[in-house]
A and B are shown apart, each in its own frame.
Chain A
Amino acid sequence: MHGRRRPGEGLGTYLLLILILLPFLFPLGWMFLSSFKTQVENTAYPPVWVFTPTLQNYREVFIKNPFFQFTLNSMIVAAGSTGLALILGLPGAYAVARFKQSGIALAILTARMAPGISYLIPWFILFTKLKLIDTYTALILTHLIVALPLVLWVMIGFFEDVPGEMIEAARIDGCSNFSAFLRVALPLVKPGIVATAILSFIFSWNNFLFSLIIAGFKTRTLPIAVYNFLSYEEINWGGLTAAATIITLPVLILSLFIQKHIVRGLTLGALKG
């Protein structure tokens, strides 16, 4: 506000920014706009840009479909897999960072490179035999395949930032290995844990492939509900975009809180953005 204008910070820069952002925002904006249009406006050509918004599409989505149930299913699976991944992954990431066990981390990264379907087929066969198809247990376990490597890899980076002297000092004061982890290291990486938890939640919330096969009618998650919606409502664009907005909006809002960590999460800790 008071400082001098930095070089390059002129009208041109902001015009450039808008020009670059526009194509990346447009599809999401179009989805949002279409969800407030009537069927007539949505099928008009050339497209309608100015219109009176209606909430009819949202009303229909919730009245015609058990969308509250789908949302609840998505939340249970995302929270369950995230919670489990944190419990299992946090001590592991701590040990990898503190005792330099990079072999374990590398093995997990390699396993993460396998195509999702190669995990899905064995688990599908096993869950069918155990009659676990269409249960939260099966869904949470398959989503853990994505969540656990994510937690491990992202948290290793955060634990590596904890100064070793603090742990040493606690150990000399008589702290056991476990309480040094619980009382010293964990509180220091709290922001990292929050970011990782949100990332893992988003990954599970967005997951399509695993839920498509493992979820049934009782545990159907939002992406599958929207996909099924697509197959029998091909032309009801208002309803479809309303459903798409309902599923995407929470993710977009959550992502704003952790924007600094998303690149790290998406590249499994390999790169910071």
Chain B
Amino acid sequence: MSAHPLAGAIAGAARIVSGAHVTWLDSPPEPGQTVYFANHTSHLDFIVLWSSLPAALREQTRPIAAQDYWERGLRRVLAVDVFNALLVRRRHSAGSDSGNAGEARETIAEIAAAMGEHTSLIIFPEGTRGTGEEVAPFKSGLYYLCREKPGLRLVPAYIHNMNRILPKGEFLPVPVISQVTFGAPMSAGPAESKAEFLTRARDAVCRLKPE
């Protein structure tokens, strides 16, 4: 799969706007199927994270986006045509053990199938954009994905300052310098409970926060 020509241009522009400073803290980027998961404060998060990856890894990496938000008009062109996003249905009860859990797992199974053996993903497990002060508790999709694909390699990342560049509800950016920090790869333990895993994954992201 080769990237849409616009994708490279948009990523380049986003990197100039965000001035993203990329650090791989514990190990250099590796090829091979990976799920990159990060905190979420801005629409630019995906583009900045994606453009932080080496070009070779970018081509195999797709974002996951909420269908209800991204399926119409220009947003759809951007998400689907340019960045080849996997659109998923969002459920507001995701993460609870209510009756919808089965439906949620069905979606996860679809994602796992779409990933195949080579496609990497970018996921924002908070589910929605936050203010940048706190990382919200993670939704359970990441956990179920690891159950669908045992041994799946996960790489945490912290995207710093994007909430200052383009916060929720704004469409004019302020060109503060951002930072993307990637942490050590991890995976879900075979016996790890959902709550344990999601807490550990969230801690892995929070630990990368600069200060």
Indicate whether A and B interact.
no
| Residues of A in contact with B (beta carbons under 8 Å apart) | none
